[in-house]
Structure 1
Amino acid sequence: MMTEAASPIPATPSPATPSAGHRPAFRLGRFIERIALIFVWLLLIAFFGALMPQSFLNWGNFSIMFASYAPAAVLALAIIVPLTAGDYDLSVGATLTLSSGLIGVLNVWHHMPIGLVLVIALGVGALVGMVNALFIIYFRIPSLVVTLGTTSLMTGIVQWMTNSSTIGGIDNALVMAVVGGRLLGVPYAFYYAMIVVVAMWYVFDYTPLGRKLLFVGRGREVARLNGIAVDHVRFGALVTSGVLAAAAGIIYAGVLGSADPYSGLNFLLPAFAAAFLGATTILPGRFNPWGAIVAVYFLATGITGLTMLGIPLWVTNVFNGGALILAVTISQLTRGREATDIG
């Protein structure tokens, strides 16, 4: 392939390649795009703060929000790993529920040590990822179909093993480790999510594995022709997604102090919305962990503010659904423009 540097004909600036005169404006536009969601988030905080200065603009309120949405944050991070490789994992919400349900059943009903139970929960998350990968990669079944099926399967298993009831009394050691301790007034649950963000950011941006993951998502055949073991990368992405979803279930069980066989699935829609909305900020056009975490707490702020205003419960579903549609639309437009700019 002839590169621009090797071409004997001087390259003419195209609409996708800004000329020197337009480069400052282009860079300013890109910078604004990178921080737009953060700016809107601050405006949202200011809006609810003006309406409810005493109750909303309270550090205790933000502390609770940061901790209670930590499972959703880890779940959004679980989603973006296979998404970056071009696969969808709709089973993360059910994996979260299965993980927390296992903790309740094994620790409370069967009196197993909490440390061993957490290892089992993470192992089951890895197993879910392997099963998904088996059908998606080796049997060539679309990821949406496979993960939708495993979602239904795990939902039924959780309802069976918990007798469709909430299991309280989870070992206090887990509760204390998740929400008992605080740093700067914020429970540890939030910092666990931030640890995952930093780890994923490092892998995505500074390791060959992260570049391979991105390369596979941009074009599997091209990646394969360049010597990348595409199936291995996709397999690892799906297993990582399962483990992170199980970790979100552990945090969820610690936040609640119990295992709920239903409510974990409520995180799926906002987590997907956050994954796609996060692809419109920080690094527009790419699924990225920092964008995902900003998007999670942007959505959390909106839901918390609306709830405190006494808005009916159905508005939350409308808010999350509308956010998902808008996020996917903007993300696709951004990714399309990014590809044009590269081309």
Structure 2
Amino acid sequence: MVALDINEQSGPSGGWLKKLSGATGPLIGLLALCIFLSISTDAFLSLRNGLNILDQITVLGIMAVGVTFVILIGGIDLSVGSVLALSMMVMGWTANIAGMPMPVAIGFALVASAASGLVVGLLVTVFRVPAFIATLAMMSAARGVANMITDGQQIVGFPDWFTMLAIDRHFGILTATVFLMLAVVLAAWIFLHFRAEGRMLYAVGGNPEVARLAGINTQVVTIGVYVVSAILAGLAGIVLAARLDSVQPSSGFGYELDTIAAVVIGGTSLSGGAGGIGGTLIGVLIIGVLRNGLNLLNVSPFLQQVIIGVVIVLAVGAETIRRRRA
């Protein structure tokens, strides 16, 4: 599961061969994992289980796109799990207690998420608070506000059309929430490879001062990235609410760690400036397949955390060795 090659930054001019070779490590790791689980349990290699894995990674996949942007600029976002919970509670309160239409409630949820990201972005850029501390503070604050909205109580029951987004399989295969995740991933990939703004993320992550001297407004880029990360966390919360048909302030606990793990396993460098969405998608699939396979093998949830931790260490270690050789 070695990291993606920095050539994934190269955009359309980099060539498909370079992009493919850069993604080979994580992809080989994913294929090896699938082969092992196919041999270990008969239930793994089936269409039904494959579709279940896709359903299960929708929330993680959407969040991971935003966190990829953050890590690409050399930042970190520990608040996405709490922002997810805040989005869910704002939507639940607006729809079920305030009695507003569901689309309006979704809009309020995304606005609340964006506001959280804006606060973090301003703390990092204007007040020079380290990203680790700023997002740690937001993690606590957003979780607290999520609990305050309903005094820690869950809200149950949404319109049928909303919950069917995560149940009804279009063409008998994919749910609307899976389509949404794939659309987010595709849009992010196009943004990074074919938009000048996407190239700016790599420039800021590679060397912020050089990027500033080149005319890039690094403050605007940083604020924008944290806002997008928060909005995608809020969108993931809406998807999770559709899956559960309920919202509760404890939702998303620990998701920030799984999200960062997926991005790192996919090869995005924690120091910024290298990586991409292709690797992140593979990292999300590795996490999803690993969890699914361990459940099928009846592995203890506690041991699962240990195994995933080992996978993260191996992925980061492989990236470090590869970069030293390069």
Shorter-normalised TM-score: what interval?
Answer: 0.7 to 0.9
Contact 1:78 1:92 in 2 (8 A): no
Larger displacement relative to structure 2 (324-333 or 133-142): 324-333
**Cα separation, partners in 2 of 1:111 and 1:181, compared to 1, 3 Å:** farther
Alpha-carbon separation, structure 2, partners of 1:280 and 1:87:
12
1:244-300 per-residue CA deviation (whole Å, 9 max, x = no partner) reads 11111111111111113223123222111111111269xxx8231111111111111
Residue type of the alignment partner of 1:97: A
Following superposition, the deviation at residue 149 of structure 1 comes to: 0.7
Alpha-carbon separation, structure 2, partners of 1:119 and 1:68:
24
Structure 2 unaligned segments of length 5 or more: list them. Answer: 1-15
- Equivalent position of 1:24 in the other structure: none
Residue type of the alignment partner of 1:50: I
Contact 2:77 2:256 in 1 (8 A): no
The answer to whether 1:119 aligns with 2:107 is yes
Map of 1:242-281 to 2, 5 A cutoff? Answer: 242-279=230-267
- Equivalent position of 1:20 in the other structure: none
The answer to whether 1:203 aligns with 2:184 is no
- Equivalent position of 1:238 in the other structure: 226
- Equivalent position of 2:9 in the other structure: none
Q: What TM-score, normalized by structure 1, do the two folds share?
A: 0.84
Partner residue of 1:295 out of 271, 283, 292: 283
Q: What TM-score, normalized by structure 2, do the two folds share?
A: 0.88
Which of the pair has the greater relative contact order for Cα pairs under 8 Å at 6+ separation? Answer: 2
- Equivalent position of 2:4 in the other structure: none
Contact 2:23 2:278 in 1 (8 A): no
The answer to whether 1:51 aligns with 2:40 is yes
1:60-118 per-residue CA deviation (whole Å, 9 max, x = no partner) reads 11212211210101111110112111211111111111111222222223322110011
- Equivalent position of 1:144 in the other structure: 132
Larger displacement relative to structure 2 (302-311 or 167-176): 167-176
Map of 1:1-343 to 2, 5 A cutoff? Answer: 34-53=23-42, 55-279=43-267, 286-334=274-322, 336-337=323-324
Alpha-carbon separation, structure 2, partners of 1:94 and 1:273:
17
Identity of aligned residues (%): 28
SS where residue 86 of structure 2 aligns?
A: helix
Residue type of the alignment partner of 1:248: A
**Cα separation, partners in 2 of 1:31 and 1:204, compared to 1, 3 Å:** closer
What is the aligned length?
A: 309
**Cα separation, partners in 2 of 1:46 and 1:152, compared to 1, 3 Å:** same
1:176-217 per-residue CA deviation (whole Å, 9 max, x = no partner) reads 223324345122212211111111111101111011111011
CA RMSD of aligned residues (A): 2.4
Following superposition, the deviation at residue 333 of structure 1 comes to: 4.4
Larger displacement relative to structure 2 (173-182 or 71-80): 173-182
- Equivalent position of 1:9 in the other structure: none
SS where residue 48 of structure 2 aligns?
A: helix
Structure 1 unaligned segments of length 5 or more: list them. Answer: 1-26
Alpha-carbon separation, structure 2, partners of 1:82 and 1:310:
35
**Cα separation, partners in 2 of 1:33 and 1:231, compared to 1, 3 Å:** closer
